[in-house]
Structure 1
Amino acid sequence: MGLEFLIPSFIIVVSPGTGVVFTLATGLTRGARASIAAAFGCTIGIVPHMAAAIGGLAAILHTSAVAFHTFKYVGVAYLLYMAWNALRENGALRIEGDIGQSSMVDITIKAILINILNPKLSIFFLAFLPQFVGASDPHPLLRMLSLSGVFMLMTFVVFVAYGLFAASVRNQVIARPRILTWLRRTFAGAFVALGVKLALADR
């Protein structure tokens, strides 16, 4: 495992997407612990896509237009729901001082769903992972599992960094209601934009 895998993986992980947006929003409105829960959920949400790529199930999404579009539009609907929820004062971006266990579980589940409901991830890993497994590799499955584990660890570390950064400026944000309103609209707009991008995506 060399730089040819680590560098593109890092670029992919740090690039703004639904997981990054959700983790930043969670850190800003609910603090450090909640942002770590969001990062964890986003990382766990990668597992089904990794499994699909390794098991060849992602090929079904790649070849079946019906399967791909069904999966895709469920993901679009969920992103639009997240956008609507972000705008509500008691929605996903509500300010909470002490995060209870139920809130942590709720954040984790939302984060998992954000990544699960994106068929492009399965197809991405179907195309990405095999590039780093040689035809002569004696244990290709083990190799793909180790690469997947590194990618997930990188995702978790980077997302935690995003979340903790957002949490570090949280007090300045919540002390200014106008900024908070602007942030809600910004994050809602980001979820809508990501939903539109997913809706327009081809296999």
Structure 2
Amino acid sequence: MLSFQTALTFFGISLVLGLSPGPDNVFVLMQSATQGRKAGMLVVLGLCTGLVVHTVAIAFGLAAIFAASALAFLVLKVLGAAYLAYLAWGAFWAPVSAETNINANTLRPRQLYLRGVIMNLTNPKVVFFFLAFLPQFVSAERGSVGLQFIALGAIFIAATIITFGSISYFAATAGQKLRGSATAQRWMNRAAAFVFAGLALKLALSQR
């Protein structure tokens, strides 16, 4: 199994990576600012569920098979970009409410959770990141490679919950007063739409 030093080093690096600007934490930030803290955390849990799938896939060698397929990469990339474009459209035209702290476009918990899951699973870059990052901390001399991957995945998910949870908390706090104004809500929704559209374009143009 992993040594304590290896696990601690990996955890520290994962925390730094979680705070580095990227599609997932920007997604969490915008959802938290426009929908609230609870919404942001539901998205975080959805993203982490996607990470569980990626962890299992790499542990059983499925991720390497996927990474070797140009068609699989293209399909996921198109699906991911299309989904982000759909979110951009929805955010741009989202209705607002003049009542304090109420956004007329508030989504159900299940919808928010699924947004996180879909966002993570339709991003092929996550697969390549895991394939490049996790093996650096694995050694066949320490026993089952598959179990080591699972342990690393669990550590990475814990770090993600901490970093993304912090982003959600502060973004929701900053957006709380703005959500009390219909005009501010409208501008926040428009900003979210442009962010989602930008992420969609970036993913659509990405290369393996």
User: Scaled by the length of structure 2, what TM-score is found?
Assistant: 0.85
Over the matched positions of the two proteins, sequence identity in percent amounts to 34
Superposition pairs of residues 1-203 of structure 1, within 5 angstroms: 1-2=6-7, 4-90=9-95, 95=103, 103-203=108-208
Partners in 1 of 2:82 and 2:72 — Cα distance?
16
Structure 1 unmatched ranges of 5 or more: none
The CA deviation string for residues 73-93 of structure 1, in whole angstroms up to 9 with x for no partner, is 1111111111111112249xx
Maintained 8 Å contact 1:56/1:126: no
Q: Do the aligned residues in 2 keep the contact of 1:27 with 1:166 (CA within 8 Å)?
A: yes
Of the structure 1 ranges 19-28 and 156-165, higher mean CA displacement relative to structure 2 is found in 19-28
Distance 1:189 1:79 in 2: 10
RMSD: 2.2
Seen in structure 2, the aligned counterparts of structure 1 residues 64 and 171 have a Cα distance that, compared at 3 Å, is: closer
Deviation at 1:5, TM superposition (A): 1.9
CA distance in 2, matches of 1:142, 1:150: 12
| C-alpha distance after superposition, 1:5-60 (max 9, x if no partner) | 23332232122333323322232233222222121111112122222222222222
Aligned mates of 1:51, 1:169 — CA distance in 2? 36
- Does the 8 Å CA contact 1:17/1:194 hold for their aligned counterparts? no
Q: Do the aligned partners of 1:80 and 1:195 also contact (CA within 8 Å) in 2?
A: yes
Deviation at residue 115 of structure 1 after TM alignment: 0.6
Partners of 1:133 and 1:143 within 8 A in 2: yes
CA distance in 2: counterparts of 1:20 and 1:86, whole angstroms: 17
Aligned pair count reads 198
* C-alpha distance in structure 1 between counterparts of 2:123 and 2:112, whole Å: 18
Q: Tell me the TM-score normalized by structure 1.
A: 0.87
